[in-house]
A and B are shown apart, each in its own frame.
Chain A
Amino acid sequence: MIGIVDYGMGNLGSVRNAFEHLGHAARIFDDPQEAAGFERILLPGVGSFAQAMRNLDERGWSPVLREVAASGKPMLGICLGMQLLFDRGEEHGDTAGLGLVPGKVIRMQPTPPNRLPHVGWNTLDHARRHPLHAGVKDHVDFYFVHSYHCVPDDEADVLARVDHGGRVVASVARANVAGMQFHPEKSQAVGLKLLENFAGWDGGDTVGSALPW
């Protein structure tokens, strides 16, 4: 069972619908104490970094999510949920994040004619092979909608990037903790493929040789 964290930020239904569509059991839960009962944890999110961290802290999620990460359980943050995995964010004031992926989250500064927010479909360039991206070719488009982006300290954590008047990290994985800046649950068939991969992910880095790439 996949647990979708409800901490009062944004649209949780779409992610659950996507897993249900794929035939994977997923439940939205708002009690951090229940986290231990799920096989994998998904952290969604729409809104601002500062508000989201306030909600995670006030509702007792932050220590629980750090425990989940330390336990080796597969964990995925989507959009703002990915950004919260990092050390710090500057949206609405410098705020400490969950600190699960070293790095910071800063406002994008795209060169013209690129606009902000970064809204729409953009092309993924893979930085390395990873089971979460198995079966997804290079140069396929995913749906993005954000104004801040993640800057990891460790380049090895980057799975894929896009170009938006400068390079933008699209997805990361550090051991069992992963993040996607785009919305797989809104990216139609290719997005659902990634969620399917997450549903079967063991939290490791090993890419099976039989997987299409």
Chain B
Amino acid sequence: MVKKRVIPVLLLKDGRMVKGRQFKDYRDTGDPKSAVRIYNAQDADELVFLDIQASLQSRGALVEIVRNAATESFMPLTVGGGVTSTDDVRELLRAGADKVVITTAAVKQPGLIRAAAEMFGAQCVVAGIDYRGSGADARVWLHCGTEETSHHPVALAKSFAEQGAGEIFLNSIDRDGCMEGYDLEMAAQVADAVPVPVIVCGGAGHFMHLAEALQQTAVSAVACASLFHFGDNNPIRARSYLRNLKIPLRVLK
């Protein structure tokens, strides 16, 4: 059977790693190159890189970071931030990304997900959903949480999957960086609504939070940034904690 994944997220801005709270108050958390090296040594299941700046300059730095990561590490890389065309997708895949996350443009440019899926295969197209609020009142926000839409995350996730997205990256802005646990209700609803794998992100502050999401919802993967950036936690410890709870994880050798 396919295993549950624990995925460190590297938020990037102008080539540096950053981390904020609720999509603001970003602070520098170091050099992404050394982070990649460490996560590779710790056998992380996959890495997600998200560029939050989406400027031309920051994009150049992102491509360089991905290229470097693909030279030094032999693990799956998922990359996004400011992807607005199939050319952007191609550029990131060529740099070494295995999957590309499309977030704002997935809403603003109907047809982009389908076009990317037809060109590169559904399996490498990840639709990103950032939302605020919870339950029925939740709404999807674009441009890193600065522009509200009328979409509900569940409806949008279903639409993205129908358009050909191979995976959904679901991120709660309210819980981002708060380390108080995932929005399990929304994670469960989205995972039950779509046939594709769902990665939940936003809120993990303890290994228990990872376990909750993997045991109580049908998500395929848990993503976290603060959990690994601040404190003495790493994928190795996360794995042994989750294994003790009988959650199916990858066997390394």
Instruction: Give me the interface of A with B, judged by CB distance under 8 Å.
Output: 10-11, 13-14, 17-18, 21, 46-48, 51, 80, 92, 113-123, 137, 139-141, 143-147, 162-164, 183, 185-192
* B2/A145 in contact, CB under 8 A: no
* B197/A141 in contact, CB under 8 A: no
Answer yes or no: B206 CB below 8 A from chain A CBs.
no
Answer yes or no: B177 CB below 8 A from chain A CBs.
no
Instruction: Take A46-B93, A140-B251, A190-B253 as given contacts and tell me if A117 and B167 are in contact as well, using a CB distance cutoff of 8 Å.
Output: yes
Give the residue name and chain of the A residue nearest to B77 (CB).
A186
Max count, chain A CB within 10 A of own CB: residue among B1, B40, B67, B252 = B1
Answer yes or no: B99 CB below 8 A from chain A CBs.
yes
Q: How far is the CB of A164 from chain B (nearest CB, A)?
A: 6
In the complex, which residues of chain B have a beta carbon less than 8 angstroms from the beta carbon of A163? 1
Instruction: Take A116-B196, A119-B197, A141-B252 as given contacts and tell me if A11 and B167 are in contact as well, using a CB distance cutoff of 8 Å.
Output: no
* Complex alpha-carbon distance, A163 and B46, angstroms: 21
Answer yes or no: B30 CB below 8 A from chain A CBs.
no
* A121/B2 in contact, CB under 8 A: yes
* A147/B166 in contact, CB under 8 A: yes
Q: How far is the CB of B63 from chain A (nearest CB, A)?
A: 12
Give the residue name and chain of the B residue nearest to A124 (CB).
B251
* A46/B1 in contact, CB under 8 A: no
* Complex alpha-carbon distance, A120 and B2, angstroms: 6
* Complex alpha-carbon distance, A144 and B2, angstroms: 9
In the complex, which residues of chain A have a beta carbon less than 8 angstroms from the beta carbon of B43? 188-189
In the complex, which residues of chain B have a beta carbon less than 8 angstroms from the beta carbon of A120? 2-5, 45-46, 197, 220-221
Instruction: Give me the interface of B with A, judged by CB distance under 8 Å.
Output: 1-5, 40, 43, 45-46, 67, 70-71, 74-76, 93-99, 118-124, 166-167, 195-197, 218, 220-221, 250-253
Which of B1, B74, B196 is within 8 Å of A117, CB to CB?
B196
* Complex alpha-carbon distance, A186 and B97, angstroms: 11
- B interface secondary structure, majority: loop
Instruction: Take A114-B2, A147-B123, A163-B1 as given contacts and tell me if A140 and B253 are in contact as well, using a CB distance cutoff of 8 Å.
Output: yes
Which of B74, B94, B98, B122 is within 8 Å of A191, CB to CB?
B74
* Complex alpha-carbon distance, A138 and B196, angstroms: 28
Which of B1, B71, B94, B253 is within 8 Å of A11, CB to CB?
B94
* A190/B97 in contact, CB under 8 A: no
In the complex, which residues of chain A have a beta carbon less than 8 angstroms from the beta carbon of B251? 123, 139-141
Give the residue name and chain of the B residue nearest to A48 (CB).
B121
In the complex, which residues of chain A have a beta carbon less than 8 angstroms from the beta carbon of B252? 140-141, 188-190
Instruction: Take A121-B250, A122-B3 as given contacts and tell me if A147 and B195 are in contact as well, using a CB distance cutoff of 8 Å.
Output: no
Count contacts between A and B, CB distance < 8 Å.
126
Q: How far is the CB of A147 from chain B (nearest CB, A)?
A: 6
In the complex, which residues of chain B have a beta carbon less than 8 angstroms from the beta carbon of A141? 3, 250-252
Give the residue name and chain of the A residue nearest to B123 (CB).
A117
- 3 closest A-B pairs by CB: A121-B250, A117-B123, A141-B250
Give the residue name and chain of the A residue nearest to B199 (CB).
A119
In the complex, which residues of chain A have a beta carbon less than 8 angstroms from the beta carbon of B124? 46, 145
In the complex, which residues of chain B have a beta carbon less than 8 angstroms from the beta carbon of A122? 1-3
Q: How far is the CB of B225 from chain A (nearest CB, A)?
A: 20
Instruction: Take A14-B96, A46-B93, A189-B252 as given contacts and tell me if A117 and B197 are in contact as well, using a CB distance cutoff of 8 Å.
Output: yes
Residue contacts A-B, CB under 8 angstroms, 22 given: A14-B70, A17-B70, A17-B74, A17-B96, A21-B74, A46-B120, A92-B118, A115-B197, A117-B123, A118-B2, A119-B166, A120-B3, A121-B45, A121-B250, A122-B2, A145-B98, A145-B124, A163-B1, A164-B1, A186-B98, A187-B74, A188-B40
Known: A116-B195, A119-B2, A120-B220. 14 other contacts (CB 8 A): A17-B74, A47-B119, A47-B120, A80-B121, A115-B220, A117-B122, A119-B166, A120-B46, A120-B221, A140-B253, A145-B98, A186-B74, A186-B75, A191-B74
